[in-house]
Structure 1
Amino acid sequence: MKKNILLILSSISLLFSCKKDNGEWRKAAENPDFLRRTQLQVTESIIHDIFAPPVSSRIYCYASLAAYEALIPGNPAYKSMVGQYNGFEKVYKPDSSKTYCYPLAATRAFLTIGKNLTFAQDVYVDFEKKLWEDYKATGMPDEVFENSIAFGDSVAASIMNYSKKDNYKQTRGFRYTVTNKEGTWVPTPPAYMDAVEPYWTKIRSFTLDSSAQFPPPAPSKFDLTKGSPYYNEVMDCYNTVKNLTDEQRAIANFWDCNPFKMNITGHAMFATKKVSPGGHWMGIVSQVSRNLGADIYKTAEAYLLTSTAVFDGFISCWTEKYRSVRIRPESIINANIDKDWQPVLQTPPFPEYTSGHSVISGAASTALTSVLGDNVAFTDSTEIPYGLPPRKFTSFSQAADEASISRLYGGIHFRPALNNGIAQGRKIGNWLVAKIKTKK
């Protein structure tokens, strides 16, 4: 009698198990909003931990690569980055005898890399619990869930092994020595911070043949003689800030993207934290891919190429910054033109030429256009959490142009750093699009 009852219970269990695994859960589990939510959470962690813009780009790129590699076994049309990215030789492969939900594996891989490369683990606890609950609520069988989680973790481990050979660890702790040579960078108020990431040129890029592959034109000769090219650039910045329109000021603030702004009130000093330039572009990927109804594969591809463009863009830009080591507008104007002049934005702690936001925006917009299309109109709401209204753009390229000119309006760059910087970035973006193949 006992055996018969056990047999009946086992049959009922099997019946319900089979009924549960009817495949209807797949469509819900392939919703790219799971991955977009995860991207946003990693961004929140990056903001919390106050990573410098180049370091933030490294986190985004490895996380995006992990997500992409964990996802593409589910779609034979997509091609791995193994053998395409510099030094990327192998990645964990799925077990053909097991059933997976590759979108879940991709989300898990992105999150795992994000957690590994950021510090504050407690910010993930509630988010992660809810994320896995929502995946299970799709009706996904437990075995598929467990297989997918394990596969995502294995791919993430492959990517972490790859990341350990990019010279990041070897470049920690090195400081830049200020020379005080005329026309060269010096720390700026209010915090007079040390120069950020002076050895970023040593970091292994993902696609560039060398960090100096796309050098911009040399900056103007330092010469404060009235009428010289450099003097005219200084006065252009000085007068632009003095005569800003409300719209120009709004543009400057919208693209500020300063991850660590020092504020002084009387004798008190406190910091405010915001999204980095790379985080802003990753946010644009999330918003536009959702608006266009892009599937999980297109979304992961857009994250991958955009983050790669930003990462390699920072390497190229930082190579020039610490080659030319040009002084910032605030320093030169206060010392030679007007001691009371102040920029709209807080001057970031690294050399002026070329503009980092210009380079990475040129690169990111070019890469993103290759995935989601040209002349894609969108509304960017990335800055709403910081009290700024959304802005509308007719294309990714137009958004990049505005991001670039915002640095002049903000008083933190001279015009050549913008024009030459965005051209530098677009060369990197075009190189990436031509070299890297995501489709077979």
Structure 2
Amino acid sequence: MSKKVVLILSCITLLFSCKKDDGSWKKAADNPEFLRKTQLQVTESIIHDIFAPPVSSRIYSYASLAAYEALVPANKGLKSMVGQFNGFEKVYKPEPNKEYCYALAATRAFLTIGKNLTFAQDVYVDFEKKLWADYKATGIPEEVFENSIAFGDSVAASIMNYSKKDNYKQTRGFRFTVTNKPGTWVPTPPAYLDAVEPHWTKIRSFTMDSSAQFRPIPPSKFDLTKGSEYYQEVMDCYNTVKNLTDEQRAICNFWDCNPFKMNITGHAMFATKKVSPGGHWMGIVSQVSRNQKADIYTTARAYLLTSVAVFDGFISCWTEKYRTVRIRPETIINAAIDKDWQPVLQTPPFPEYTSGHSVISGAASVSLSSVLGDNVAFADSTEIPYGLPVRKFTSFTQAADEASISRLYGGIHFRPALNNGLVQGRAIGNWIVGKIKTN
């Protein structure tokens, strides 16, 4: 090959390599669908690892915080949670004179936290390969890609450091002591599992002044005298389950959200796994933000406020559960009313009052409404992977109401735990919306 030809080819190569980036890749790379797919993948890992509902909420909230903080430098309308969340003092900042794709950094930060806080790393391998390949297919320059990945990892490291001071590690390994006092919780069939997360009240919340800040009114006095308030609540649950309509049964199954259901057939026992209550609400965020064509910033805000509402809601609810330690319907009905009665849903392994679904759904619905709007009609397909059909709602409030009453239909809560739990949760949601400023 002549020197002249070599020189021409070199010039052509140099011309293409120095082609100015026209930024045409930015719109495609800013697509919030990357973040939504990542949220779903973290949910799949949570389901695989069978995390308890409060622990699942911790994973979602830190992942959502990381994604949100990675976007703050890109949008002057977003306010950092530094100084707003309890104990959150600093977060990594982008380096000057470097170009970033902040949407990519946010997705990377969410995924990194999810991987760090879950166990089954192999479930991420194929997903992650395709995720980064899809980003590169937008035409993002290699340097911008690498800068964004590094920034996302640095933000995630900041959030992981923050998470290490929330007392989670210090509450591992402790068991709850059953007292067998009248009216108090004892393990329930079929697995008779130990009580879940009895020390969750010690976990640092993101926004509350204390875990007891939103303490509900006390439950009814334990009194099985016919005609007493408590006896009427017991019979309300008993008769509701005995006379369920098909629609009520569909409602209780749709909102089951049992991460670990034990199935017993003869001498065989096996478990089935589902999305957690918090995971269900994160799924709602994904669906509605997609329907509204929300941008990456609005989607990240919705994930953040919803996950934090669920997280703080669990702290408040679990504080009350282990303060009152109330007996479950299955236990008291079998002992005092009908030994053959069974709930429709499997009774979860923790005390009855207040209802976790009610508290976190009430909190999530308020927080989510503050971002995506009131009276937003949507079709919820979260439970399709578990063989359940889509359910339609006129608002997040209606969805929360239905999630709450589902626990009575399922026979695992008395009505006051639902009503008072919704009040408790909505108070938490209103507190978060009034206290935390995202824009």
- The question of 1:222 aligning with 2:208 is answered no
Per-residue deviation, 1:12? 3.4
Is the 1:70–1:102 Cα contact (8 Å) retained in structure 2? yes
Per-residue deviation, 1:10? 5.6
Is the 1:20–1:140 Cα contact (8 Å) retained in structure 2? no
Q: Distance in 1 between matches of 2:146 and 2:81?
A: 26
Is the 1:57–1:311 Cα contact (8 Å) retained in structure 2? yes
State the partner residue of 2:239.
239
Per-residue deviation, 1:17? 3.7
**Structure-to-structure mapping, 1:158-307, within 5 angstroms:** 158-307=158-307
Q: Distance in 2 between matches of 1:77 and 1:37?
A: 25
State the partner residue of 2:146.
146
**Secondary structure class of the residue paired with 1:379:** strand
Q: Deviations over 1:238-284 (max 9, x none)?
A: 00000000000000000000000000000000000000000000000
Q: Deviations over 1:264-306 (max 9, x none)?
A: 0000000000000000000000000000000000000000000
- The question of 1:78 aligning with 2:90 is answered no
Q: Deviations over 1:82-128 (max 9, x none)?
A: 00000000000001110000000000000000000000000000000
Comparing 14-23 and 63-72, the one that deviates more: 14-23
Is the 1:68–1:304 Cα contact (8 Å) retained in structure 2? yes
Letter in 1 for 2:337: I
Comparing 124-133 and 17-26, the one that deviates more: 17-26
**Secondary structure class of the residue paired with 1:392:** strand
- The question of 1:339 aligning with 2:364 is answered no
**Structure-to-structure mapping, 1:29-178, within 5 angstroms:** 29-178=29-178
Give the direction of change, closer, same or farther, for the CA distance of 1:76–1:3 in structure 2 (3 Å limit). farther
Q: Distance in 2 between matches of 1:28 and 1:69?
A: 21
Q: Which runs of 5+ in 1 are unaligned?
A: none
RMSD: 1.3
Q: Distance in 2 between matches of 1:146 and 1:224?
A: 66
Q: Deviations over 1:135-187 (max 9, x none)?
A: 00000000000000000000000000000000000000000000000000000
Is the 1:67–1:109 Cα contact (8 Å) retained in structure 2? yes
Is the 1:20–1:141 Cα contact (8 Å) retained in structure 2? no
Per-residue deviation, 1:8? 5.3
State the partner residue of 2:395.
395
Identity %: 87
Is the 1:330–1:347 Cα contact (8 Å) retained in structure 2? yes
Q: Deviations over 1:204-224 (max 9, x none)?
A: 000000000000000000000
Q: Which runs of 5+ in 2 are unaligned?
A: none
Q: Deviations over 1:194-237 (max 9, x none)?
A: 00000000000000000000000000000000000000000000
Per-residue deviation, 1:22? 1.2
**Secondary structure class of the residue paired with 1:345:** coil
Q: Distance in 2 between matches of 1:15 and 1:416?
A: 73
Q: Deviations over 1:323-371 (max 9, x none)?
A: 0000000000000000000000000000000000000000000000000
Give the direction of change, closer, same or farther, for the CA distance of 1:8–1:367 in structure 2 (3 Å limit). farther
**Secondary structure class of the residue paired with 2:309:** helix
**Secondary structure class of the residue paired with 1:263:** strand
Q: Distance in 2 between matches of 1:133 and 1:397?
A: 39
Is the 1:262–1:269 Cα contact (8 Å) retained in structure 2? yes
State the partner residue of 2:361.
361
Is the 1:20–1:139 Cα contact (8 Å) retained in structure 2? no
Q: Distance in 2 between matches of 1:218 and 1:98?
A: 56
Letter in 1 for 2:364: A
- The question of 1:404 aligning with 2:384 is answered no
Letter in 1 for 2:272: T
Letter in 2 for 1:97: N
Give the direction of change, closer, same or farther, for the CA distance of 1:7–1:432 in structure 2 (3 Å limit). farther
Q: Distance in 1 between matches of 2:386 and 2:418?
A: 25
Give the direction of change, closer, same or farther, for the CA distance of 1:4–1:153 in structure 2 (3 Å limit). farther
Give the direction of change, closer, same or farther, for the CA distance of 1:87–1:265 in structure 2 (3 Å limit). same
Q: Distance in 2 between matches of 1:116 and 1:397?
A: 33
| Count of matched residue positions in the alignment of Structure 1 and Structure 2 | 439
Q: Distance in 1 between matches of 2:15 and 2:206?
A: 49
Please give the TM-score of this superposition, normalised by the length of structure 2. Answer: 0.98
Q: Distance in 1 between matches of 2:431 and 2:29?
A: 34
Please give the TM-score of this superposition, normalised by the length of structure 1. Answer: 0.98
Is the 1:352–1:417 Cα contact (8 Å) retained in structure 2? yes
State the partner residue of 2:318.
318
